[in-house]
Structure 1
Amino acid sequence: MTRYILRRLAISFGVLFVGSFLLYIMVINSGDPLEDLRQSTASNRDVLIQGRIDTMGLDLPWYQRYWDWLTGVAGCFTGNCDLGTDQTGTDVLSMLEQAATATLRLVTIATFAAIIIGIIVGILTAIRQYSGFDYAVTFLTFLFFSLPVFWAAVLLKEYGAIRFNDWIADPQISVLQAFIVGAVLAFILQAVMGGSMRRRLFTAGATGAFSVIALLYFTYVGWWRSPALGPVIVILVSLAFAVGLVALFAGLGKRRVLYATLTTVGVGSVLYFALAPLLEEPNWWLLLGLLVSAVVVGLVVGYFWGGYSRGQAMAMSAITAVFMAGMTFADHLVYAWHGFLELKPRPISTIGASTPNFQGDFWETTLDWGTQLILPTILLTLISVATYSRYTRSSMLETMNQDYVRTARSKGLSERTVITKHAFRNALIPITTIIALDFAALIGGAVITETVFGWNGMGAMFREGLDHVDPNPVMAFFLVTGTAAVVMNLVADLAYASLDPRIRR
């Protein structure tokens, strides 16, 4: 395995070298970097031209300029990274750090959201093949996949930002609107759950009634502007998640696994109150430490409860601990929403990655950061969900028709066990390839999204470099996207060996 990894790394470095060489040649030959100055009528035009020549090294042969850039990149391995400067003399490395922070946080969140949603939807459509739900999801996924990014972004800005901001100033939901929303949710959920007509009617009725009552109640108490979850909701939802997780992946018959997850929720309930003073004004390092501690607690609880199912109990307890930590985080964010609206009456912005000169506490600042992220994340997620759901569906259908799946069914195993333990794991192999390729593709595709939403990310840096025939910012963009593609493909190859041990040979 070590020899295989080293060989792949050597090939990857070769690919990056050839790609960087070709891109550098294309950029420097794409136009004249002095064109704007040649057309200038300023009295010091010649001085400005000479200054730019000196800054960009235009008096040097192209191979020397490329070699200078390559040696600067090589210095990154020794801690002396030098990516050069742009045409104004600004250090490209500092530009890249700021741009990459914005872009990677957008792409990473969108990728994880798309993976989770796409795989779940793909599994459901494979199980419900040729049903009305399958046809509806197929239509929607092809619709999302074919959406022009710039057009979808404009729609999101209109309905997800402008009109929402108008509504949140005085949020009201009429009885008719509540019934319409309830009917839509009831139709969707009964289609997802399936079953007999009696089961469908019960699901639709319960969903519709609950939705209507909840919407009218929230409007009556003013919950939309002053929301709250509270410990009861956090604990109940965490308990439901723990039971559902065990039922899905282990079965409720494995009592020790169930007791481990329920004990984790109990410990988390105590810590919810014990850590409340620390969470009034935390920082990200504290939250990261608490998240790691939650995982450790889950592992320890699973270890002592697990018995013969120790590995499964530890894994599910850790997942339950992470979920409850997320619920606690969401609880504090929801509680801070009212104060955030006082500072920013129109919460969803259409331009920029953050609000200039925003003054608020940690939770209000986090809300500002999150609301700026909502629209571009939704856009990138919708596009990627289509890919993941279709590949998951086709991979699951192919796997579920294999002999070993039929054998598992003939042995009397439950459908849950057949799907989660036999079909799904093998179906993940082709999906892993798509994940590896999609992450790097999303970084490149984010160029248009960042342009529409006014993000100063890597897309803006890449575009400005091309516009000014300035190779250093473009090469910095390539360095990140190319490295991401190489690393993700290497991770995918290692994941193959984990999913199917035969691949190791």
Structure 2
Amino acid sequence: MLNFIARRLASAIVIMLIVSIAMYLLLDLAMDPIEDLRTSTSPNKQQLIESRIRMLNLDTPSIVRYFWWLRDASGCFIGQCDLGTAWRSNQLVTDLLGGAIITTLQLIVAATVVSIALGVTVGLVSALRQYTGFDYTITFISFVLYSLPIFWVAVLLKQFLAIGFNDFVNNPAISWPAVIILSIVSGLFWMGAIGGQKTRRAMVFGVAAVVTLGALVYVLTSGWLLNPSLGIVVVLVTSVGIAVVVTMLSTGLRNKRALYSALTTAGIGIVLYYPMQWFFYYVTANFWVIVGLAVVSIGVGILVGYLFGGPDRSQSSRTAAIVAFLVGGLIFVDKVMQSWDLYSNANVIKNRPIATIGSATPGLGGDFWVSTLDTFTHLLLPSIALILISFATYTRYSRGSMLEVLNQDYIRTARAKGLTERTVIMRHALRNALLPLASIVPVDIITLIGGAVITETIFGWSGMGKLFIDSLRDSEIDPVMAYIMITGFLAIFANLVADFVYAILDPRIRVNA
């Protein structure tokens, strides 16, 4: 493995050297830093041109300037990183990159995780329900979403989800036809996803439609939108549901130790609901406090699973740890939602909480919970735009991959041996169905980190994509070169990660081959 990594790193260095020198020379040829001075009417125009030529060393051959740049950039490997200066603003490129990378990561992390989780899950379910109404509907929706231009989706989200929702929150009115249609659509979705005989489908449809109808009526008539929160009842019911579903997917409900571990962990989370409210009241929350609590919750889940024992304690510990993390997330979300009234009524928000531009509200005061809620409201629209487009891609790939795996001989053999359908799907089919995604997902993530240029521009996010476009327009070669090198190294790293993921998912593949 060490030989494999060494070879990949050596080839990466050679590739990046070739790319860097080619891009530097091409950018130097395409950019004209004195273009604005050529059309200037200033009486000292010639002196200004000469001064800028000296400042940017434009009278030095570009190949020499490249090696000067390479010498300074190489210092990044020893902790003395010098990627140059954005000469128009006189800011260090490292300072510009620091803010841009953080902004882009905020934008793409949630969107990427949600789109992968939803896309893969829906694609797999669609494959298991092949040639049903559910499958045809998901296929149609996926093709529609895949063909939508991102700028058009972004504008529609601004108009209907931001402006329309802000108006609706201030004057919520029930539209009974819309409520009934949504309830029917929910019933049809769950009926198609769960499947089964006619009686089972009819029961699922009725339960899903009634639950959706009741939830919508409660939300619209109780004033919940003006001061939303989950509350202990919703946390309790959802936690138990999480425990059952996670156990069913992880080990199967026949594994009683895993089920009891999951339910016990959910119970611990429910019991700690009110104590955590007092904890957050007396302890000043910040990012690291939340991370620490997440680590502790996972540790508690692992411990609970281990104490239940059994022939395979790792299964119980794994299941309980996942449940602990998700239940802890519910409590965190509930606490954030409790700040909604304070946030929405702030002077700078003016009861229009869904933001349409920027990554934060200027001049907004408040504690960690208010700032977290503000970040969420700014992330909502661009994240949905990215999710809708990426969701279609992951759905199509996962569906096609699962269908191919389900037709393999070893799947038929597993079923013939009498294995349960859950075991066949989760233990035998899923791992191989994820193999094609192992090469797609890492590259997609790195592409997004490189900057969602259109999304960042429309929603006013100063991320990597906007930095690249602005620097290219202003003929600032140093920020553009830094962007190219970062995205290039990340692309190579993504392919390396894909190789290791392949090896994990398929033991026949060895990374040192």
Partner of residue 2, structure 2:
2
Once residues 373 and 86 of structure 2 are traced to their aligned partners in structure 1, the CA distance between those partners, rounded to angstroms, is 34
Please say if residues 451 and 464 of structure 2, whose CA atoms lie closer than 8 Å, have aligned partners that are also in contact: no
Greater CA drift, 410-419 or 146-155: 146-155
1:372 aligns with 2:378: yes
Percent of paired sites with the same residue: 46
TM-score, length-scaled by structure 2:
0.95
Tell me which amino acid in the other structure corresponds to 1:77. Answer: F
Tell me which amino acid in the other structure corresponds to 1:40. Answer: S
1:481 aligns with 2:487: yes
- Residue among 346, 351, 357 paired with 2:357: 351
Partner of residue 19, structure 1:
19
1:311 aligns with 2:314: yes
Please say if residues 302 and 321 of structure 2, whose CA atoms lie closer than 8 Å, have aligned partners that are also in contact: yes
Once residues 121 and 30 of structure 1 are traced to their aligned partners in structure 2, the CA distance between those partners, rounded to angstroms, is 45
Please say if residues 303 and 311 of structure 1, whose CA atoms lie closer than 8 Å, have aligned partners that are also in contact: yes
Once residues 57 and 316 of structure 1 are traced to their aligned partners in structure 2, the CA distance between those partners, rounded to angstroms, is 61
1:438 aligns with 2:441: no
Please say if residues 450 and 456 of structure 1, whose CA atoms lie closer than 8 Å, have aligned partners that are also in contact: yes
Partner of residue 131, structure 2:
130
Once residues 418 and 6 of structure 1 are traced to their aligned partners in structure 2, the CA distance between those partners, rounded to angstroms, is 38
| Alpha-carbon distance, 1:46 to partner | 4.1
Tell me which amino acid in the other structure corresponds to 2:318. Answer: A
**Correspondences of 1:396-415 after superposition (within 5 Å):** 396-415=402-421
| Alpha-carbon distance, 1:257 to partner | 0.9
| Alpha-carbon distance, 1:254 to partner | 0.8
Please say if residues 75 and 82 of structure 2, whose CA atoms lie closer than 8 Å, have aligned partners that are also in contact: yes
Once residues 482 and 467 of structure 1 are traced to their aligned partners in structure 2, the CA distance between those partners, rounded to angstroms, is 21
Gaps of 5+ in 1: none
Please say if residues 415 and 424 of structure 2, whose CA atoms lie closer than 8 Å, have aligned partners that are also in contact: yes
Once residues 155 and 222 of structure 1 are traced to their aligned partners in structure 2, the CA distance between those partners, rounded to angstroms, is 27
Partner of residue 79, structure 1:
79
Greater CA drift, 11-20 or 249-258: 11-20
Task: Give the direction of change, closer, same or farther, for the CA distance of 1:167–1:322 in structure 2 (3 Å limit).
Answer: same
Once residues 43 and 278 of structure 2 are traced to their aligned partners in structure 1, the CA distance between those partners, rounded to angstroms, is 64
Deviations along 1:219-243, whole A, 9 cap, x unmatched? 2220011112122321321121111
Task: Give the direction of change, closer, same or farther, for the CA distance of 1:31–1:76 in structure 2 (3 Å limit).
Answer: closer
Once residues 203 and 55 of structure 2 are traced to their aligned partners in structure 1, the CA distance between those partners, rounded to angstroms, is 72
Once residues 185 and 391 of structure 1 are traced to their aligned partners in structure 2, the CA distance between those partners, rounded to angstroms, is 25
Partner of residue 144, structure 2:
143
- Residue among 489, 493, 504 paired with 1:498: 504
Please say if residues 52 and 87 of structure 1, whose CA atoms lie closer than 8 Å, have aligned partners that are also in contact: no
- Residue among 448, 470, 483 paired with 1:464: 470
TM-score, length-scaled by structure 1:
0.96
Greater CA drift, 408-417 or 33-42: 33-42
Please say if residues 256 and 309 of structure 1, whose CA atoms lie closer than 8 Å, have aligned partners that are also in contact: no
3-state SS in 1 of match to 2:277: coil
Once residues 191 and 499 of structure 2 are traced to their aligned partners in structure 1, the CA distance between those partners, rounded to angstroms, is 39
| Alpha-carbon distance, 1:385 to partner | 1.3
Tell me which amino acid in the other structure corresponds to 1:272. Answer: Y
Please say if residues 110 and 383 of structure 2, whose CA atoms lie closer than 8 Å, have aligned partners that are also in contact: yes
The root-mean-square deviation of aligned C-alpha atoms, in Å, is 1.7
3-state SS in 2 of match to 1:227: coil
Partner of residue 247, structure 1:
248
Tell me which amino acid in the other structure corresponds to 1:325. Answer: G
Please say if residues 257 and 309 of structure 1, whose CA atoms lie closer than 8 Å, have aligned partners that are also in contact: no
Partner of residue 336, structure 2:
333
| Alpha-carbon distance, 1:203 to partner | 2.0
Tell me which amino acid in the other structure corresponds to 2:23. Answer: L
3-state SS in 2 of match to 1:282: coil
| Alpha-carbon distance, 1:47 to partner | 4.7
Deviations along 1:381-429, whole A, 9 cap, x unmatched? 1111111111111111111111111111001001111000000011111
Please say if residues 399 and 405 of structure 1, whose CA atoms lie closer than 8 Å, have aligned partners that are also in contact: yes
Task: Give the direction of change, closer, same or farther, for the CA distance of 1:123–1:75 in structure 2 (3 Å limit).
Answer: same
| Alpha-carbon distance, 1:160 to partner | 1.4
Partner of residue 190, structure 2:
189
3-state SS in 1 of match to 2:431: helix
Residues paired across the two proteins, number:
505
Tell me which amino acid in the other structure corresponds to 1:382. Answer: L
Once residues 259 and 128 of structure 2 are traced to their aligned partners in structure 1, the CA distance between those partners, rounded to angstroms, is 26
**Correspondences of 1:177-256 after superposition (within 5 Å):** 177-256=178-257
Tell me which amino acid in the other structure corresponds to 1:410. Answer: A
Please say if residues 451 and 463 of structure 2, whose CA atoms lie closer than 8 Å, have aligned partners that are also in contact: no
3-state SS in 2 of match to 1:279: helix
Once residues 65 and 357 of structure 1 are traced to their aligned partners in structure 2, the CA distance between those partners, rounded to angstroms, is 43
Once residues 465 and 56 of structure 2 are traced to their aligned partners in structure 1, the CA distance between those partners, rounded to angstroms, is 21
Task: Give the direction of change, closer, same or farther, for the CA distance of 1:129–1:501 in structure 2 (3 Å limit).
Answer: same
3-state SS in 2 of match to 1:184: helix
| Alpha-carbon distance, 1:202 to partner | 2.2
| Alpha-carbon distance, 1:266 to partner | 2.4
3-state SS in 1 of match to 2:345: helix
Please say if residues 249 and 416 of structure 1, whose CA atoms lie closer than 8 Å, have aligned partners that are also in contact: no
Once residues 111 and 17 of structure 2 are traced to their aligned partners in structure 1, the CA distance between those partners, rounded to angstroms, is 29
Once residues 462 and 453 of structure 1 are traced to their aligned partners in structure 2, the CA distance between those partners, rounded to angstroms, is 16
Deviations along 1:420-455, whole A, 9 cap, x unmatched? 000001111111001122112223460111111111
Deviations along 1:325-355, whole A, 9 cap, x unmatched? 1101110111111111101211112111111
Gaps of 5+ in 2: none
Greater CA drift, 392-401 or 264-273: 264-273
Please say if residues 56 and 85 of structure 1, whose CA atoms lie closer than 8 Å, have aligned partners that are also in contact: no
Once residues 116 and 77 of structure 2 are traced to their aligned partners in structure 1, the CA distance between those partners, rounded to angstroms, is 32
Tell me which amino acid in the other structure corresponds to 2:85. Answer: T
Please say if residues 306 and 314 of structure 1, whose CA atoms lie closer than 8 Å, have aligned partners that are also in contact: no
